[in-house]
Amino acid sequence: MFSDTVSPTVKLNDNNTIPQLGFGVYQIPKSKTYNTVSTAINMGYEHIDTALSYGNEEEVGKAIDKSGKPIFVTTKYFNPNPKQHSYDNAKEHFKTSFDNLGLKKIDLFLIHWPITKNKLYLDAWRALIDLQKEEKVKSIGVSNFTQNQLTELIEKTGVIPAINQVEMHPYLQQVCLRDFHDRYGIVTEAWSPLGRGKVLDDKVLKDIASHYGKTPAQIVLRWHMQLGVVTIPKSETPHRVEENIHIFDFQLTEDEMKTIEGLDRAERNGPDPAEYVFPEDFLEKRKK
């Protein structure tokens, strides 16, 4: 392992730490997950982001276990059906994820999406608080939560999520939400940090990349690192997995950071959490 592949860590509000660069496994087929995650760990990744709904927790767990390394693992509670989503359901899903992963511990458990009907995310959040109190999980947080939903969680339970994992990349920079997170000591974690590859043809990023002899993907991930956000790029292509971790041997200037800031155009790839309501049978349909 090269020294330029060692990620810094970020401190969470519960005093645990998380490696700032992780590896996401959304849409990596079950059959490819063990090898892909093993390759990523061999290259130096120390943090894997999965979810029950990705259907590959077992293979993630096996790859981590086989590595013998203390890899930080995140998984998530997601049940878009308001008739089922509840305190008990969140605890049951945690147990399923824990068994699927087959590891001694889960480092971070997130509510995957806020289920807005009857504010069910409050019940789920209470379950996560208890799971942490029972020492079944080290850190707890949320994903795709808006400022209003975060405010409500905090006011109603007094427990501030350690992390909010949200879509973030140069075309969707989440400036207001990050500012809110900073005020409350919530770490911002970026999903789709490369905008699912769509930002990588940007001329501004290509120009900065050629200056450093790096790729646009490396420039974007370096930008995330310098903003202090945690980030979890995904790739199934070994040379890209490797490229995405070689980002610790150079530094963007303040001017370059400002130039990238100028690319923001509030452009989402995923649904807008402030408006989107998942169909109740979303998971069942996806399995077919």
Q: Which of residues 93-152 bind ligand NAD (CB under 6 A)?
A: 112, 143-144
Judged by DSSP in three states, 241 sits in helix
Comparing C-alpha atoms, which of 30, 52, 31 is closest to residue 96? 52
Out of 26, 34, 45, 54, which one is annotated catalytic?
54
Instruction: Please report how close the Cβ of residue 155 comes to ligand NAD at its closest, in angstroms.
Output: 23
The rounded distance, in Å, linking the Cα atoms of 171 and 193 is 10
Check if the beta carbon of residue 112 is closer than 8 Å to that of residue 144. yes
Q: Are 175 and 26 in contact (CB under 8 A)?
A: no
Least distance in Å: CB of 248 to ligand NAD? 15
Of 19, 27, 8, residue with least CA distance to 139: 19
Instruction: Rule CB under 6 A: choose which of 6, 9, 16, 26 binds ligand NAD.
Output: 26
Binding window for ligand NAD (CB under 6 A); candidates: 61-69, 134-142, 205-213, 234-242: 234-242
The smaller minimum CB distance to ligand NAD, of residues 155 and 213, is found at: 213
Site string for ligand NAD, 49-88 (x = CB under 6 A): x---------------------------------------
Q: Is 263 in the site for ligand NAD (CB under 6 A)?
A: no
User: How many whole angstroms separate alpha carbon 134 and alpha carbon 11?
Assistant: 22
CB of 111 closer than 8 Å to CB of 120? no
With CB under 6 A as the contact rule, which of the stretches 30-38, 87-95, 118-126, 227-235 interacts with ligand NAD?
227-235
Q: Determine whether 87 is an active site residue.
A: no
Kindly determine how many residues on this chain lie close enough to bind ligand NAD according to the rule CB under 6 A.
Answer: 26
The closest alpha carbon to 271, from 50, 149, 53, 112, belongs to 112
Span from 9-17, 118-126, 192-200, 257-265 in contact with ligand NAD (CB under 6 A): 192-200
> Does residue 194 contact residue 200 with C-beta atoms inside 8 Å?
yes
User: What would the 3-class secondary structure string for 41-66 be?
Assistant: HHHCCCEEECCHHHCCHHHHHHHHHH
Q: Which DSSP letter does residue 186 get?
A: P
Closest distance of CB 235 from ligand NAD, Å: 4
Binding range to ligand NAD, per CB under 6 A, among 4-12, 63-71, 90-98, 235-243:
235-243
Write out the catalytic residue numbers. Answer: 54
List residues binding ligand NAD (CB under 6 A): 24-26, 49, 112, 143-144, 165, 191-197, 200, 215, 217, 232-235, 240, 243-244, 270
